[in-house]
C-alpha cells in the first residue's frame, strides 16, 4: 500500500511527501491553515527521523 498525492502541479509518493504536499494544499486553499502547518511540520519531522535512523544504520555497520 503506497500513499500518493497529486495537486496544484505537485505530486509525490510516500508518507513524508504526502504530508508536506497535503499541508501546502490545505494552506494554499485556506481550508484549514492550522492543520496544514501541522502536516508540513509533521512531514519534516518524520523525514528528519528517517534520515537520522538511516545515518545510524550506516554508521553502525562500520563501527
Smallest Cα–Cα separation from 17: which of 34, 38, 42?
42
Long-range contact set of residues 42-45: C-beta below 8 Å, sequence gap at least 24: 43/15, 43/16, 43/17, 43/18, 43/19, 44/16, 44/20
Q: Please tell me the predicted confidence (pLDDT) of residue 52.
A: 97
pTM of the full predicted structure? 0.81
Question: In the numeric block, which cell numbers belong to residue 40?
Answer: 508540513
Number of domains in the chain: 1
**How does pLDDT run across 6-50, given as a tens digit for each residue?**
877 888 889 999 999 999 999 999 888 999 999 999 999 999 999
Amino acid at each position: 500500500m503506497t500513499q500518493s498525492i497529486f495537486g496544484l502541479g505537485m505530486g509525490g509518493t510516500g508518507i513524508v511527501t504526502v504530508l508536506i504536499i497535503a499541508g501546502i494544499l490545505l494552506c494554499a486553499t485556506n481550508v484549514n491553515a492550522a492543520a496544514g502547518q501541522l502536516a508540513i511540520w509533521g512531514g519534516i519531522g518524520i523525514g528528519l527521523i528517517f534520515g537520522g535512523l538511516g545515518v545510524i544504520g550506516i554508521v553502525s555497520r562500520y563501527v
